[in-house]
Each structure stands twice: as C-alpha cells, then as structure tokens.
Chain A
Amino acid sequence: NAGVMQNPRHLVRRRGQEARLRCSPMKGHSHVYWYRQLPEEGLKFMVYLQKENIIDESGMPKERFSAEFPKEGPSILRIQQVVRGDSAAYFCASSPPGDGLNTIYFGEGSWLTVV
C-alpha cells in the first residue's frame, strides 16, 4: 500500500491564479480530510469528504476554497485567485470506512507558494 499520495508536492502560483492540489487516499479508504499548515503554525482541519459528499467543511475559508472527492479519481482541493496568505503546506489524510474513530493516515503534503 503506497500510502496517501499527494501531488504536486510543490506548487508555485502567482497572485490571482488558481491552485489545484490532488490527493489519492490509501487503498480501501473512502474518507478524505484536508488540513492546512501555515508557517510556524500547527495543522488546522479544513474539510472532510467521502465519495461525492462533503461531510464537514467547518474549517474551510468561506471564499475561494473548495474541495471535492468525485466518484472516480482523486480528491481535489481548489484555491481560486490565490493570495500570498494562502502560502502553506496542505496535508491530505484518509481513513477506512467506519465510525469516525479510525486512525487517519497523512500524506506527505503539498507546499503552495504564492508569489
């Protein structure tokens, strides 16, 4: 099992552009989570998705950020019209189907730099 796979690992965008980060969960995992780590901060929960459903988006910024986990393919975190403050490490995690008490497994992260 290759683990949670994220790409790209590093992404540079100019202000105003769009950033798309992809996450493939571990085999057999149907729950995906996105976290953001701003410089000098701890990871912060953004969103929890299952296939074709957003379960909890309480940590998502109200504007410009969206996430999806389609029936086929990876989960995507999209940031529109990026600003310098979006520069951060974005971590995806996944867990198997269950009652929310399973351990979640993290990917290696995607580092977004906005110039």
Chain B
Amino acid sequence: AQRVTQPEKLLSVFKGAPVELKCNYSYSGSPELFWYVQYSRQRLQLLLRHISRESIKGFTADLNKGETSFHLKKPFAQEEDSAMYYCALSVGGSNYKLTFGKGTLLTVNP
C-alpha cells in the first residue's frame, strides 16, 4: 500500500527566509503528487500538483522519483504562508482517492 511521510510536524522560519517542507512517499508505480494547504479557519485547498509543473504563490515542488520525494519549496517565505501543509498522492490515474501525509504546520515569523 502507498504511504506519504511528512517528517516535520512543525516548521518555523523567519519572513524572507527560504522554506522547504519535506514529503517522501512509498509506492512502486508512478503516483501523482499533490500539495494541499489549509490556512487558519479555512478549508483544505489544492496548492499544486506535480503534473502541472507550475508555481503557485511562489511555491514549487519537484517530483524526484529516485528519492521518492516531492518537497515543497519557496525561496522567500511570507507571513501569510503560515498554514498547515499536507502532501498527498493518488494512484491509478484517479485523483479522488488521495493518500495524505500527517501534515506540517508552517509558521512564518515576522
């Protein structure tokens, strides 16, 4: 069975510093990877997906199949980036049956 691991439960950085939220997965095939974000008192929303290869709100993530990782990066963190971030994967070509990691709470300090 597939699994998603987010090794950091909490991550704290200062405004303007680079940030990297780690995500590792285990799956023998070719999964699709996602990052979801949940801002305070808001619903979970899709931040980006690896097949889109896009940058959203300055965040990027590259799928590294060799290391089975999909780390989320931003060169200069902003206070409004403070949120809970979840890495997720889907298999079999359908993106409704997501396997989520436990999440990382990012706090960006002024």
Interface residues of A (CB under 8 A from B): 3-4, 31, 33, 35, 40-45, 48, 56, 58-59, 91, 93, 95, 100-109
Which residue of A is nearest B92, CB measured?
A100
Supposing A3-B43, A91-B44, A106-B45 touch, asked if A45 and B97 sit within 8 A by C-beta, the answer is yes
Supposing A4-B43, A42-B4, A44-B100 touch, asked if A101 and B94 sit within 8 A by C-beta, the answer is yes
Main secondary structure of the interface of A (DSSP, over half): loop
Q: Quick check: is B99 within 8 A (CB to CB) of the other chain? A: yes
Instruction: For chain B, give the interface size range.
Output: 20 to 34
Q: In the assembled complex, how far is the CB of residue A34 from the closest CB belonging to chain B, in whole angstroms?
A: 11
Chain A residues whose C-beta falls within 8 Å of the C-beta of B44 in the assembled complex: 43, 91, 106
Q: Quick check: is B98 within 8 A (CB to CB) of the other chain? A: yes
Chain B residues whose C-beta falls within 8 Å of the C-beta of A109 in the assembled complex: 43
Q: Quick check: is B10 within 8 A (CB to CB) of the other chain? A: no
In the complex, A108 Cα to B43 Cα: how many Å?
A: 5
Main secondary structure of the interface of B (DSSP, over half): loop
Q: In the assembled complex, how far is the CB of residue B47 from the closest CB belonging to chain A, in whole angstroms?
A: 11
- Which of B36, B45, B96, B101 neighbours the largest number of chain A CB atoms within 10 Å of its CB? B96
Q: Mark B8-21, 1 if CB is under 8 A from A, else 0.
A: 00000000000000
Q: Mark B70-110, 1 if CB is under 8 A from A, else 0.
A: 00000000000000001010000111111111110000000
In the complex, A107 Cα to B102 Cα: how many Å?
A: 18
Q: In the assembled complex, how far is the CB of residue A60 from the closest CB belonging to chain B, in whole angstroms?
A: 12
In the complex, A102 Cα to B86 Cα: how many Å?
A: 19
Chain B residues whose C-beta falls within 8 Å of the C-beta of A107 in the assembled complex: 43
Chain A residues whose C-beta falls within 8 Å of the C-beta of B103 in the assembled complex: 42
Supposing A3-B43, A4-B43, A43-B86 touch, asked if A48 and B96 sit within 8 A by C-beta, the answer is yes
